[in-house]
Amino acid sequence: MTIFPSLKIPNTLAAGPGPGNTDPRVLEAFASAGVADHMQLDVLRGMVEAKQMLREVFGTKNVYTYGIAGTGWSGLDSLQSAILPGDKVVAFNNGTFSGIDCLTIRMKASTPDDLAANPMNPQPANVIVVNVPHGQSVTGEMVDQALAEHKPMWAFMAHWETGSGRINDIKGFNDACAKHGAMGLVDAVSSLGVSDFNIDDYPAIVGWASCPQKGVLALPLTYAPVSFRDEYIDVVRKRGCYNYVNHPILNARHWGIIDGKDVPTPSYHQTHSGYAVASFHEALRILLMHGRAQKAADYAFHEKVLRTAVEEMGCEVTSNMTSLVVLNLPGALAGKEKELVGNCRARGFAIWPTLSEPVQVRIGILNQLNEEAITDIVGRFADAMIEMGADVDKDAILANVKSAFTPRLKNSA
């Protein structure tokens, strides 16, 4: 028998699309939680309070707003579980993660014959995937055209697509769903807690799912926020779904949501961790204390500083998200994206390549909203570029970063 030494994982600078660097206060909440079972009163109180905070974060009065235990994929599994075999769906794909969402939808909407024909990648005729070229956003016009042609029961889109760094047109998507009678479903994994929006402003979108590890910045394995309108819940109530653990209605019972109402005493659904509840609760507190509008403005400012710096290094930025910069390297380094990323990651600077073609570099700023963090990211990326042979004036670029923060510091003084 081999007894391995105790696992030690060093700190790294998480400067990719997510997970982001967890706030020390969230880690402290996790580590200091007492040993308690999943029905202990403080654990249940924490879940009820988290549910209430999530409604503020989402900007909604939806009663069915709570957390699905796990990562963002757990929340998306719950969101998409209302789709049954044979349902007609139009789904939009403009990057790695909306592409995986589309595969999930094809699986859920497949008949047994569809699955047997291609078990790992079914192609049911009732699911129409609209593929938008990498680096482009889904527009309202695209959605309107596709829904007018296919008249689906469901329509799906990612709000912010992390694979390509593109923001998709959420208002255009909502308006097209309302116009054509489709029920909208949205992946808000990369936008919730970063962008300032209220989901109640988009009533044709009946279901939303996010994640704990990006804008919310809880630990990656806590709770994936979801929110469902009554129209969505009515469909599940009437038809059911092939799910239990992530069931949109049954799961809500543990959060004190029963028969469409908040109740004082939650009911057992599955075993929850007091550690996860405590850290998720603290992450939501931090987000709301920061303020949604202020946090969104802070992301926009810091992304602009980073974007300007990498452009000064000769890179071409193709993204329009405010928590992530997706870029092409200058001509002399073209084709060396994975090598550069590998060099950075070997030094504890965790940036990412894109996970689908074309290969680009992704640099994220989740929970890096201060001058010291942005200066560190820019400096490390400049060093990596110089090591690869790029002609980069690191000192001049860092001086420009400092200048960008000077008016902001004066205003806050």
Q: What is the CATH number of domain 26-288?
A: 3.40.640.10
- Contact between residue 397 and residue 378 where contact means Cβ atoms under 8 Å apart: yes
Token pair listed for 195: 């962008």
- How far lies 219's CA from each of 6, 73, 276, 411, in Å? 22, 14, 8, 33
Locate CATH 3.90.1150.10 in the chain: 292-408
Amino acid 407: pLDDT: 80
- Contact between residue 248 and residue 226 where contact means Cβ atoms under 8 Å apart: yes
Locate CATH 3.40.640.10 in the chain: 26-288
Q: What DSSP line would sit under 209-249, residue for residue?
A: E--SSSSS---TTSEEEEEE-HHHHHHHHHH--S-STT-TT
CA–CA gap between residue 51 and residue 66 (Å, rounded): 5
Amino acid 221: pLDDT: 85
* pLDDT tens-digit series, residues 250-276: 999 999 999 999 999 899 999 999 999
CA–CA gap between residue 203 and residue 61 (Å, rounded): 11
Amino acid 49: pLDDT: 97
Amino acid 63: pLDDT: 98
- Phi first, then psi, for residue 235 (nearest 5°) are -65, -45
Query: Which positions of the chain have pLDDT values less than 70?
Result: 408-413
CATH number of 292-408: 3.50.50.60, 3.90.1150.10, 3.90.1150.200, 1.10.3720.10? 3.90.1150.10
Contacts of 71 (CB under 8 A, 6+ apart): 211, 212, 213, 220, 221, 224
Q: How far from the centroid of its chain's Cα atoms is residue 44's Cα?
A: 26
- Using DSSP's 3-state secondary structure scheme, residue 403 falls into helix
Amino acid 412: pLDDT: 61
State pTM to two decimals. 0.95
**330: preceding bond cis by omega (within 30 degrees):** no
Amino acid 148: pLDDT: 98
- Around Cβ 166, how many Cβ atoms within 10 Å? 24
**124: preceding bond cis by omega (within 30 degrees):** no
The angle formed by the CA atoms of residues 318, 322 and 326, to the nearest 5 degrees, is 30
